[in-house]
Amino acid sequence: MRVVHGALLLALATASVGVAVANEDAATPSAASVDQLPPGQDVSDTVIALAGWVIAANDNHGYPFMVMDKAAAQVLVFGGDGRLRGAAPGLFGSAVGDHAAPGIAGLALREIPGRDRTTPAGRFVGGYGPSIDAGRVLWVDYDSAVSLHPTASGTPVERREERLASPTPDDNRVTHGCINVASDFYEQVVRSTFEKGGVFYILPDTDSMEETFPEFAQSRVAGKN
């Protein structure tokens, strides 16, 4: 595995400079961060700015956090100290949308209509807990039954591992709403980071950043002024 490329490290390390100098050391990612992103695939300025704001504003309250970009099919994992632990492709809900359908948590996977297979956007506080049919899982949002799994939990016909390995995000919308990452990334980075819970930030498909993360959006406006 590669370590996260220097440009991304530098951008994340300096994202909150001038906002919270006290957090400058905590915002510097570890050189050993695991990078599974396809070669040449960039992380958006919005993701970098959001991660920097979380660190600077202590919006994670010292807990590990993850920033997920559905459009780019990327997940970035940070420790409670703000250090970047890993970046990797992710699989998301097959339907475009930012809200969970009412009552979806009570449906079996096969019962969820195609239009409702969305990964909701927003800020969620989650952690490991029991599930009805999958044992102990990492819940991102328990109320809408959205969890994060290794690809081993998918079905062969969906070719989830192949989708993760492809060089573009075009084929990464395939799940019923949960998030999938490669099994080795899950075991090496996700499991240990979120063993005691954490905060999850999922960027929207169609809603605005102002609607989804109002405090972050206000901070950007204040910074420009």
Higher pLDDT, 47 or 155: 47
Whether the per-residue pLDDT at 169 is higher than 90: the answer is: yes
What's the DSSP call for residue 187? I
Contact 116, 145 (CB under 8 A): no
Contact partners, residue 114, CB within 8 Å, separation at least 6: 94, 95
With cut-offs at 50, 70 and 90, classify the pLDDT of residue 29.
Answer: very low
Distance CA 183, CA 191 (A): 10
Q: How many Å apart are CA 178 and CA 172, to the nearest integer? A: 12
Global pTM value: 0.87
At residue 19, the pLDDT reads 39
Q: What are the residues facing 77 on neighbouring strands?
A: 66, 86
Tens of pLDDT, residues 48-63 = 999 999 999 999 999 9
Return mean pLDDT, the chain.
Answer: 85
pLDDT 10s digits, 64-112: 999 999 999 999 999 999 999 999 999 999 999 999 988 888 777 788 8
The CATH fold assigned to 2-224 is L,D-transpeptidase catalytic domain-like (2.40.440)
Nearest to 105 by CA among 177, 193, 15: 177
Q: Are 52 and 40 in contact (CB under 8 A)?
A: no
